[in-house]
Amino acid sequence: MRWLTGFTLGLLTAVGGFLDIGDLVANSVVGSRFGMTLAWVVPVGLVGLMLFTEMSARVTATTGRGTFDLVRERLGPRVGLANLLASYLITFLTFAAQLGGMALALELASGIHYLLWVPVAAAFVWIVLWRLSFERMEKTYGILGLALVVFGVALWMLGPDWGVLLEDAASFAPPAQEGPAVWWYYAIALFGAAMTPYTVLFFSSGGVEEKWGPRDLATAKVNVFFGLPLGGLLSLCIMACAAVVLMPAGIQVSDLGQVALPVVSVLGKVGLIVVILGFVAATFGASLESGLSAAYAVSQYFGWRWGKALPPEKAPYFHLVIMVSLLAGVLFMLTGLDPITVTEYSLVFSAAALPLTYLPIFVVANDRGYLGDRVNSRFTNILGSLYLVLLCAVSVAAVPLMVYTKAGQ
Amino acid sequence: MSDRDDGAVFRIGFTVLDRQIVDAEGVNVAKVDDVEFTWTSGELPAMTALVGDTAALGPRIAGRLGGFWETVLARLRPPDEEPTRIPVGDVERFVPATVLSTPAPRGMRPLEDWLGRRVLARIPGGRR
């Protein structure tokens, strides 16, 4: 029975944890501008995420070590440092975007301007990171995040013409009024949203915190192979909702209210309450995860004591990095930068930096010195190599496309 | 040290440098930032200690940044503190992490300890 509850909870966590402000915004923007024509990106990103998350779960369960711990070891101090800087900056940008997203969701609930909510949201995040145990933290927001299932319900009640949606999804071409450059630009943003690097970083370090051994590998795999696809399905629902409601009305998504609009249009006030609950839970969870990931990366590079399992007094540098990142994140958002823009930028920069996170995982997952006979199978390696080529192509194209399309205008 | 017993080739760059050092109680001590060799005339040089010293990373990062790194971090160290040396004899195994057979040497990270004791421990919940 305990095994069953542990299993269900893990699964729910994976579903709730997959969605963050990046997925909410990217899927909604894409749905409202391009209909379902970019739906193919979600499964492509999802398979990649599953592939590399499973690898890092295997590495963590076998060696008891987090991703960044191995990055410096395998890449050396110089390249490792460059990797750390890039990863930290991107995780920080993602983190700031989550804080902004949470503030926007709270504005939606209260009517109080989001800038006033930013410090409050950050204070909540800090209290949880300072005091709550790892497991309790993970489960709470994972389950509340499931409120986003309301997008699935709304889509069902909207009763769209499924045939048209499918036809759109299979067309593999931008709709008439949009050019190919912008279409590809948003494909990259969506890909960045699905494969967000902090997810893997958090997953592997979280495994170390929960002291995974080889016996936990089966549970972790179930979570990866069932939980993440359910999360992906939810993000497709968000895209479809936007495609059905927002696109025909010509509404451009520029804040969270418009993301929620399709749900509100069919489910009314109850829908609004549930969707706001889901927004807050998803962004709150993602702020915790990305904030921790930033501190995990730095601590693991330098070999400091780290982890939420230790009292803060015993892991001072780790908590110092968390506090400094939080403070910097608050100041960054208080400059008045639009949270939705910050989110879109964080997605594209994440996409540009994808190989930095995933290449070292791939190298280590093939090393018998670490994994013995649990190294990658030939199938995993073929698929992994294909994905690395794809990641490099995305990485090279991301920033030039951003400049060329003026960030998707 | 299992690696030696097997008679396997032992590459310092691969097996020792940049690995996490964990003490007998499972607490993170440092990364192996550098290694120390001793060479007595007439004998072969031998690795005698692991050095955990973030300043020692400077030359390994190389270039102007590396030089700057080394200077600044060496200056930040209190004058009577030496970089942490861990005698190779204390190492139980090198793979997958460097595990020591002894507890971590005391007072090896003065700034980190001070921060924990004097600042973080005073914030409510810091000791948990």
Task: Give the pair of three-digit tokens for residue A316.
Answer: 């001072």
State how far the Cα of B83 lies from the Cα of B53, in Å rounded to an integer. Answer: 5
Name which of B14, B12, B98, B18 is nearest A367 in CA terms.
B14
Tens-digit pLDDT profile for residues A25-79:
999 999 999 999 999 999 999 999 999 999 999 999 998 888 888 888 888 888 9
Confidence at residue B37, expressed as pLDDT on a 0 to 100 scale: 92
The amino acid at A300: Q
User: Which chain B positions have a beta carbon within 8 Å of A81's beta carbon?
Assistant: 61
- Is the preceding omega at residue B96 within 30 degrees of 0, hence cis? yes
Tokens 């600044």 map to which residue? B72
- Among the ranges given (A81-85, A207-211, A285-289, B46-50), the one the predictor scored with the smallest mean pLDDT: A207-211
- Closest partner residue to B18 among A76, A314, A315, by Cβ? A76
pLDDT at B106: 74
Check: CB of residue A151 under 8 Å from CB of residue A125.
no
Total domains in chain A come to: 1
Residue A149 in this model has a pLDDT that exceeds 70: yes
Is A120 within the bounds of a domain?
Answer: yes
Q: What's residue B1's pLDDT?
A: 43
In a domain, A181, yes or no: yes
- Does residue B69 lie within any of the structural domains? yes
Q: How far is CA B50 from the centre of its chain?
A: 6
Contact A275, A264 (CB under 8 A): yes
Q: Give the CATH number for residue B87.
A: 2.30.30.240
Instruction: Give Cα separations from B124 to A41, A123, A246 (angstroms).
Output: 46, 14, 48
CB within 8 Å: B112 and A304? yes
pLDDT value at residue B2:
44
Q: What CATH number is attached to the domain comprising A210?
A: 1.20.1740.10
| Record: contact A316-B127, CB cut-off 8 A | no
- Structural domain span for residue B48: 2-122
Helices (H) and strands (E) in chain A, counts: 18, 0
Q: Is position A13 within any domain?
A: yes
Residue B127 placed within a domain: no
Is 80 exceeded by the pLDDT of residue A195?
yes
Q: What is the residue-wise DSSP string for B29-42?
A: EEE--EEEEE--TT
**Sign of the dihedral defined by the CA atoms of residues A189, A88, A80, B98, in that order:** negative
Q: What total of structural domains would you count in chain B?
A: 1
* A274 touches A63 (CB < 8 A): no
Q: Do B96 and A305 touch (CB under 8 A)?
A: no
Closest CB to B120: pick one of A81, A304, A319: A319
Separation between Cα atoms, residue A371 and residue A64, nearest integer Å? 11
The predicted pLDDT at position A10 comes to: 66
- In A, minimum Cα distance to B120 occurs at A313
Say what percent of chain A tops pLDDT 70.
96
- Give the mean model confidence (pLDDT) for residues A162-181: 92
Q: What is the pLDDT of residue B111?
A: 81
What is the domain extent for residue A256? 2-404
Contacts of A351 (CB under 8 A, 6+ apart): A188, A189, A191, A192, A195, A394, A395, A398
Q: Confirm whether B34 is domain-assigned.
A: yes
| Token pair recorded at residue B49 | 């200690």
pLDDT in tens, A225-237: 888 898 899 999 9
Residue A96 CB-density burial (10 A; 0-12 exposed, 13-18 middle, 19+ buried): buried
pLDDT recorded at residue A9:
61
Report, as ranges of residue numbers, the positions in chain B whose pLDDT lies below 70. 1-8
Predicted confidence band at A386 (pLDDT cuts at 50, 70, 90)? very high
Is B128 inside a domain boundary? no
Mean pLDDT for all residues in chain A:
91
What percentage of chain A reaches a pLDDT higher than 90? 69
- Tokens 């996490």 sit at which residue? B20
Return the SS3 of B103. coil
Question: Could you tell me if residue A409 is inside a domain?
Answer: no
A69 at interface of B, judged by CB pairs closer than 8 A: yes
Determine contact, residues A130/B125, Cβ cutoff 8 Å.
yes
